[in-house]
């Protein structure tokens, strides 16, 4: 039997994504983003409130990085979702993390995060559903420690976590339980 829960943002898992931009003075801004992700092979969509400091930076600089945080940096990642750059000028410094300038876009790369997409802003959309930024992925940076012997990202080594919208929790991920486009292939043969 099903119970009607109404309209809720209930999809699981939700990625924990960190957007990094430069402020107008060149300082680093990082935001933990709840609504967004990959929307095409080389594109990401960010759904943000337009009053975020990060939103202004995206429009001004036309670039950002999008990182996946790992479990050793869960405290800092959560902090980036609690604190606002509009009120806390030293937000990034308080985290204790480090950044370097991307070689490809006008945005910072947080050194401690193991996987980072370097993106350029393609379009800012204002719709009845809110403010959306479409970004083109121009490169992906991965810490060598998360790569397997073939140079591919190993999810178990990534040590990522996801957000649970049901109870506002974080959950570790990494155990492989099947192979895409193979696990269900026998049903095609019926």
The pLDDT tens digits along the chain (190 residues) read 999 989 988 888 888 999 999 999 999 999 999 888 999 999 999 999 999 999 999 999 999 999 999 999 999 999 999 999 999 999 999 999 999 999 999 999 999 999 999 999 999 999 888 999 999 999 999 999 999 999 999 999 999 999 999 999 999 987 888 889 889 988 888 7
Alpha-carbon separation of residue 137 from 17, 43, 125, 176 (angstroms): 14, 6, 18, 26
21, 54 Cβ separation under 8 angstroms: yes
- Domain containing 22 equals 14-187
Here the CATH number for the domain that contains residue 159 is: 2.30.110.10
pLDDT at 177: 85
Given this model, what pLDDT does residue 43 score?
98
**Can you tell me the distance from the alpha carbon of 102 to that of 138, in angstroms, rounded to the nearest whole number?**
11
Asked whether residue 65 is domain-assigned, the answer is yes
Q: What is the pLDDT of residue 56?
A: 96
Q: 114 and 142 in contact (C-beta within 8 Å)? A: yes
If one counts the domains in the chain, the total is 1
For the CA atoms of 135, 174, 100, 87, the dihedral, rounded to the nearest 10 degrees, stands at: 70
Enter the pTM of the model: 0.93
What pLDDT sits at residue 105?
A: 98
CA separation (Å) from 91 to 21, 23, 75, 171? Answer: 13, 12, 13, 25
6 lies in some domain: no
Q: Which of 22, 49, 51 is nearest to 36 (CA)?
A: 49
Instruction: Classify residue 4: in a domain, yes or no.
Output: no
């Amino acid at each position: 039997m099903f119970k009607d829960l109404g309209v809720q943002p209930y999809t699981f898992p939700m990625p924990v994504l960190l957007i990094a931009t430069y402020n107008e003075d060149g300082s680093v801004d990082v935001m933990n983003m709840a609504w967004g992700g990959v929307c095409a092979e080389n594109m990401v969509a960010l759904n943000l409130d337009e009053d975020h400091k990060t939103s202004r930076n995206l429009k001004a600089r036309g670039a950002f990085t999008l990182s996946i945080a790992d479990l050793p940096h869960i405290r800092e990642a959560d902090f980036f979702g609690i604190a606002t750059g509009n009120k806390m000028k030293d937000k990034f410094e308080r985290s204790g993390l480090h950044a370097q300038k991307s070689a490809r876009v006008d945005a910072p790369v947080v050194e401690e995060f193991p996987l980072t997409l370097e993106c350029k802003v393609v379009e800012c959309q204002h719709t009845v559903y809110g403010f959306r930024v479409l970004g083109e992925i121009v490169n992906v940076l991965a810490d060598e420690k998360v790569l397997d012997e073939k140079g591919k990202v190993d999810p178990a080594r990534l040590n990522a976590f996801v957000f649970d919208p049901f109870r506002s929790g974080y959950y570790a991920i990494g155990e492989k339980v099947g192979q895409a486009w193979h696990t269900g292939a026998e049903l095609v043969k019926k």
